[in-house]
Structure 1
């Protein structure tokens, strides 16, 4: 079987089953697991799937350019954002991670000048400044055209001088087994650094992120204080998450 045919078969399996188990495909096609793993590696490098131990999973829906993510699960994100804003204590220092849910939060922030908002996202900084009287502090660095967020060495240096009460973290995958994941290695490192400079970290998880897995790990579930989820989401995976970390609905 030609390589192109094998890859087409792997795509079909992924669409049909929601995952690829390398040993099962090797047995089905009568080829070596090494051949399957090589094909999976090439498909992962092309951004078509995410490699995991023993096989592969679909790319998380949230691992898309920011202009595409704006129209993804918008109602669910609004509900998560509204619940998250309720968890902000007066006179606190919060970090809003880059993302469409945190952008929704920025537009709902309470008025009053006793709140400080730190963010690596220019869009969130502007929204927070326009919609509230909060003090707004930007994490500087190189602007990613994919995510429209500041990152790189300059951003990491700035993070080391921060001290926050609460970090609202945006991950593209929230899974009971794989933990919190994202599609960018650099982004994952920045998120971990911010979490280390924050007293508590809460994860924002709209419906499309529950059970999804991205390529790069961010944090284990037991490293965060809780997950803010959509109160209308009835995904059974939420029960598995609740056994590990508190959920805020």
Structure 2
């Protein structure tokens, strides 16, 4: 099969099935996975599809959550407090909790009960400052280089510090969430820090306000198999969350 024939086959398959699994295609055509992956890379460069781990999916819209921090504060103003409140209710007394940066996580810590006794570990100066008036919450700040776009610390020092902590929960803020593209964000170093937090927590909870669903960003954080819970708004279309339920992920409706 010639290159242009393979690419036509791949695009037709993508249109019919909504995704391409490289191994399945290589088996069906009797070709190496490297050949299929090369074709997918070239098609992605042409803007005809989006590469994901193990294959490809149709091009997805970019997430509004890639906008600067001040702009993101104006998005989903009703949804974020509800999602933050539902997420915060998961914290039990005495737990050690990673809290990500971002506007949704800020709403989470703003609504924590005053009597909660726990330890919050964060790489976000905004989150740490918000917790100043919670006398029973021990706050641990992770250092590093300040990534101004998201107001979080990133870099090797941040990742190294995370590796020395074992947390009960990690509340992850994301730019994008998609059943095939997975959990993604707009900055490579920020993705590395989020991945390290995920690896160091017993349970990862993704906070997904409406604008983040069914979108994709450039850098994958972690496979969906590492996510235990996703918190979404109560009136979210069930078709958007059904694929995650099928993966065994708990869906909390805020």
What are the within-5 Å matches in structure 2 for residues 114-125 of structure 1?
114-125=117-128
**1:18-37 residue pairs with structure 2 within 5 A?**
none
Query: Which residue is equivalent to 1:247?
Result: 251
**For the Cα contact (< 8 Å) 2:120–2:140, is it kept in 1?**
yes
Unaligned runs of 5+ in 2: 1-39
Encode CA deviations 1:51-78: one digit per residue, 9 max, x unaligned.
Answer: 4347632211111111111111111111
The 5 A counterparts of 1:111-190 are 111-112=114-115, 114-131=117-134, 133-190=136-193
Asked if the contact 2:229/2:250 (under 8 Å) is kept, the reply is yes
Q: Distance in 2 between matches of 1:84 and 1:67?
A: 23
Task: Name the TM-score, length of structure 1 as normaliser.
Answer: 0.77
Which among 60, 65, 81 is matched to residue 62 of structure 1?
Answer: 65
Q: Distance between the aligned counterparts of 1:187 and 1:226, measured in 2? A: 21
Q: Which residue of 2 aligns with 1:14?
A: none
Work out the CA distance in 1 between the residues paired with 2:216 and 2:78. 21
Counterpart secondary structure, 2:133:
helix
8 Å CA contact retained: 1:51, 1:215: no
CA-based RMSD of the aligned residues comes to 2.3
Give the alignment partner of residue 73 of structure 1, picking from 71, 76, 79: 76
Q: Deviations for 1:162-219, whole angstroms, at most 9, x for unmatched residues?
A: 1211000111111111111111111111111111111111111111111111111111
1:133 CA displacement: 3.0
Q: Counterparts of 1:186 and 1:36 in 2: how far apart (Å)?
A: 26
Contact in 1 for aligned 2:93/2:116 (Cα 8 Å): no
What is the CA–CA distance in structure 2 between the aligned matches of 1:174 and 1:218, rounded to whole Å?
10
The number of aligned residues is: 210
